[in-house]
């Protein structure tokens, strides 16, 4: 592999410099690709055993040294027919949990209910060039008193964005 050392690269004509089709340009610290997964169907869960939300995004890193910045947004509602409601959304790389976001609400008057945006951001280092899938799961803290967590509440769009950053 040869190396060119220059201080400035300029367009020979016009103002654009274009990479040949199919070729990749690796710049450490710069975004190499962006992919997004969305889910807009309001869904609920009443079990403490986590299940897939339906939100996922697949990405194939271009280099093993790349980092993947994951941004998660879930529109959640939690409710329970007693004083406190508690539920969690987990973020996984394939089957490995890499982050979790907890939503809690309490009302001494009973019938706790709350809507919030649950977010998470993770700078992941998957060290692979094989396809990986990021996804979320959800579950309540205690499957009693009708404890329920909704995602994509009001059919708002939940999002999972994966940005590959050159390493």
Partner 1 sequence: MIDKHQAILSLEPNAKFGMVGDEIVDWESEDITQPTEAEITAEQERLQYLYDSEEYKRNRANEYPSVADQLDDIYHNGIDAWKATIKETKDKYPKE
To the nearest whole angstrom, how small is the minimum distance from the Cβ of residue 48 to partner 1?
16
Q: Are 31 and 24 in contact (CB under 8 A)?
A: no
Only one residue has tokens 């998957």, namely 126
Nearer to partner 1, 32 or 70 (CB): 70
Pick the piece of the chain touching partner 1 (CB under 8 A) from 19-27, 32-40, 47-55, 106-114. Answer: 106-114
Burial 64-98 (b: 16+ CB within 10 A, else e): eebbbebebbbbbbbbbeeebbbbbbbbbbeeeeb
Our finding on whether 64 is near partner 1 (CB under 8 A) is no
Using CB under 8 A, pick the residue from 116, 125, 133, 145 that binds partner 1. Answer: 116
Using CB under 8 A, pick the residue from 57, 73, 90, 105 that binds partner 1. Answer: 105
> How far, in Å, CA of 77 to CA of 115, rounded?
4
Token pair of 149 as six digits? 């967590």
Using CB under 8 A as the binding criterion, the count of chain residues that bind partner 1 stands at: 16
Q: Are 44 and 8 in contact (CB under 8 A)?
A: no
Phi/psi of residue 88, each to 5°? -135, 140
Using CB under 8 A, pick the residue from 42, 63, 65, 107 that binds partner 1. Answer: 107
Pick the piece of the chain touching partner 1 (CB under 8 A) from 1-9, 25-33, 98-106, 152-160. Answer: 98-106
For partner 1, the binding residues (CB under 8 A) are 84, 86, 101-109, 114, 116-119
């Amino acid at each position: 592999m040869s190396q060119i050392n220059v201080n400035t690269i300029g367009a020979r004509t016009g103002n654009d410099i274009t990479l040949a089709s199919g070729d990749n340009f690796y710049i450490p610290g710069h975004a190499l690709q962006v992919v997004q997964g969305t889910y807009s169907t309001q869904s609920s869960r009443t079990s403490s055993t986590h299940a897939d939300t339906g939100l996922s995004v697949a990405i194939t890193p271009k280099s093993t040294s790349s980092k993947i910045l994951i941004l998660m947004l879930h529109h959640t509602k939690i409710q329970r027919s007693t004083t406190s409601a508690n539920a969690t959304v987990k973020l996984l790389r394939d089957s490995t949990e890499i982050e979790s976001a907890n939503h809690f609400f309490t009302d001494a008057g009973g019938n706790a209910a709350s809507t919030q945006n649950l977010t998470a951001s993770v700078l992941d280092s998957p060290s692979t060039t094989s396809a990986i899938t990021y996804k979320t799961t959800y579950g309540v803290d205690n499957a009693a008193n009708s404890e329920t967590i909704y995602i994509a509440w009001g059919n708002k769009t939940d999002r999972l964005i994966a940005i590959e950053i050159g390493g």
